[in-house]
Structure 1
Amino acid sequence: MAVEVSVETPLQDDVRGLVEQLNAHLLPLSPIEFQFKMTVEEMAGPETTVFIARDESGRAVGCGALKVHSPEVGEVKRMYTLPEVRGLRVGSALLEAITRLAQGKGLSHLVLETGTGPGFAAAWRLYERAGFTRCGVVLDYPDSEHSAFFEKRLSPLAH
């Protein structure tokens, strides 16, 4: 399946629906106090760039975001693909777009927080295949058995 990944506003009905599905997917996987969700309104903030993957019919099938925390550090947020497209490299395409943008902005370091447990195994594989490695606590997240942290050092884009 071919998908197109592009920067879009999260303030669209179909993107809101995708984020609602992401939130519902996460709800049973971790205690609510260890789910660090951004609302679509927060995702629309100036420090965050949202990527949407759309299939050939234009349907939103995945999302991911880059939130810039400093001139050096960006965070991967709100990664999700619909269950019926998992295994088709939609998540990889989103993560590649986020990484390219981070490099283009001159960031040297990408970080992310995700959950632990069997429900997150596919996410861990995605991040590790993309060159992320496990690390200690990042940003202002609490240290918890419910969170796993990953990082990736970036090299600048060649011009």
Structure 2
Amino acid sequence: MPLHIAVDPLDGPQIAALLQAHLDEMHRISPPESVHALDLSRLRAPDITFWSAWEGDALLGCAALRELDAGHGEVKSMRTTPAARRRGVAAALLTQVMDEATRRGYRRLSLETGTQPEFAPARALYARFGFEPCGPFGDYRLDPCSTFMTRAIDGAHDEATR
């Protein structure tokens, strides 16, 4: 069955459970002051577009794009289910976010992820897509548990999928 990615209204029990598992894991790995994952109510805000990835009736992952300003977006809530890992779901979701950022005319796309070993696969994925380490952006502050990454949006990110 093909992967289907669509804007999600955040009202289904499967997405609520995936996001709760995401928050629970972030709180297990990081101290409370270093957890920047958004809860369901915050993800419903007008500055955020949220997508979910499905294979038939099976939820495989999610990702969000937060508008920081007219030229700068932030990747939020990237998560795949354990069954979807290493199947290209995260890459497909990140491509969706980047395509939307390009469509909106953003000049920059940034993200925050952890420094702990559990976040190494995420950091590697982001680097593969051209994200590079940077300093804190938006409302973030320096934090030993945070890695900040950014990339310019130039309309071409196909090198990441080669």
Bucket of the pairwise TM-score, normalised by the shorter protein:
over 0.9
Give 1 or 2: higher helix fraction.
2
Sequence identity (%): 31
Q: Which runs of 5+ in 2 are unaligned?
A: 157-162
> Does the aligned pair in 2 maintain the 1:10–1:44 contact within 8 Å?
yes
Distance in structure 1 (CA, Å) of the matches to 2:130 and 2:81: 23
> Does the aligned pair in 2 maintain the 1:64–1:77 contact within 8 Å?
yes
The residue number in structure 2 matching 1:45 is 45
> Does the aligned pair in 1 maintain the 2:73–2:108 contact within 8 Å?
yes
Matched ranges for 1:142-153 at <5 A: 142-153=141-152
Count of paired positions:
156
TM-score between both structures, scaled by the size of structure 2: 0.91
Matched ranges for 1:63-74 at <5 A: 63-74=62-73
For residue 127 of structure 1, report the CA deviation from its aligned partner.
0.5
RMSD in angstroms over aligned alpha carbons? 1.3
TM-score between both structures, scaled by the size of structure 1: 0.93
The residue number in structure 2 matching 1:155 is 154
For residue 108 of structure 1, report the CA deviation from its aligned partner.
0.6
The residue number in structure 2 matching 1:15 is 15
Structure 1 residue ranges, 4+ long, deviating more than 4 angstroms after superposition = none
Distance in structure 1 (CA, Å) of the matches to 2:89 and 2:155: 24
For residue 2 of structure 1, report the CA deviation from its aligned partner.
3.4
Q: Which runs of 5+ in 1 are unaligned?
A: none
> Does the aligned pair in 1 maintain the 2:50–2:65 contact within 8 Å?
yes
